[in-house]
Amino acid sequence: MSTVTTTKPAPTAPGPAPVDGGSGEGRIGLRANLRHIGALVRRNALQIKQDPESMFDVLFMPIIFTLLFVFVFGGAVSGKGNQGEYVSYLVPGLMAMMGMNIAMAVGTGVNDDFKKGVMDRFRSMPIARSSVLLAKIVVEIGRMLIAITILLCVGFILGLSIAGSVLNLFAAIALSVVFGSALMWIFILLGLTMKTAQAVQGMAMLVLMPLQFGSSIFAKPITMPGWLQTFTDYNPLSNLADAARALINGTPVGDSVWMTLAWSLAITAVTMPLAVRKFRQKT
């Protein structure tokens, strides 16, 4: 009677643990990361296609704000009959405001994705977690460019002229996009910190209102009280508005361009690591 002996395979040594705590992000190369970002950008774009109402702020906000301020406040600021002069002052300033208002949508979108369980599905996929945030920023940059394009078209209809070169116009647009992208990290951090999307919007408005109206976007600071002029001088929106205004109207830019870039770099350097860390903790 023969017996059959079986041998058990020798236990294998456990492999190294993922560096990033199980997300797999440490094993994902640059090419794969870019592919993930592209796929998530397409997903977000399809969401916009299925919900076209989400583009109403981009399509109508530039038109409403331009017409409102030009025809309601333009005469009071520049004198009756000088609305054309006010258009050249206002429209470059509104480019700064468009970036800030649209950046707010990133925070509410991130918060809403957590509430709907979208992030739970992403957690089970072998994708870089950073690609989720970067894809949202790419989509919002696209929305921002659409809003700025509509704003400039309305401005041209109302009499805006480009005194500088076309390259200066593109530089003003690029500067607005760079600053708006930096602000998105602030709102992403708010979206990851606040409990509801309504809370994100409420907190964002508390930040937006003083910065917008305490700036040189709508009126020259020389008409403001001394203490408000001091606030306006250090307001990053004033630097961006002054830079875009100088580039489009062909006037000396001074230090406004470099100040805007410095603000953008500082905001990104502080808030991006905090937002990424908070996102990894929640996922």
Task: Give 199-209 pLDDT, tens digit per residue.
Answer: 888 888 888 88
Mean pLDDT of the chain: 82
For 208-231, write each residue's pLDDT tens digit. 888 888 898 988 888 888 899 999
Average pLDDT of the segment spanning 156-182: 91
> And the tokens for 254?
């001074």
Residue 267 pLDDT exceeds 90: yes
Average pLDDT of the segment spanning 22-41: 68
pLDDT bucket at 25, cuts 50 / 70 / 90: very low
Q: Cα separation of 256 and 194, whole Å?
A: 33
Question: What integer pLDDT is reported at residue 80 of this predicted model?
Answer: 64
Question: What integer pLDDT is reported at residue 23 of this predicted model?
Answer: 41
Q: Which of 228, 264, 260, 267 is nearest to 245 (CA)?
A: 260
Question: What integer pLDDT is reported at residue 28 of this predicted model?
Answer: 63
Residue 124 pLDDT exceeds 90: no
pLDDT bucket at 81, cuts 50 / 70 / 90: low
- Name 37's Cβ contacts closer than 8 Å, sequence gap at least 6: 131, 134, 135, 138
Which of 137 and 20 is assigned the larger pLDDT? 137
Residue 283 pLDDT exceeds 80: no
CB 170 within 8 A of CB 75: no
Question: What integer pLDDT is reported at residue 85 of this predicted model?
Answer: 82
Task: Classify each residue of 231-263 as buried b or exposed e, where b means 16 or more C-beta atoms within 10 Å of its C-beta.
Answer: bbeebbbbbbbbbbbbbbbeeebeebbebbbeb
Residue 122 pLDDT exceeds 70: no
Question: What integer pLDDT is reported at residue 235 of this predicted model?
Answer: 92
Question: What integer pLDDT is reported at residue 262 of this predicted model?
Answer: 95
Average pLDDT of the segment spanning 148-173: 91
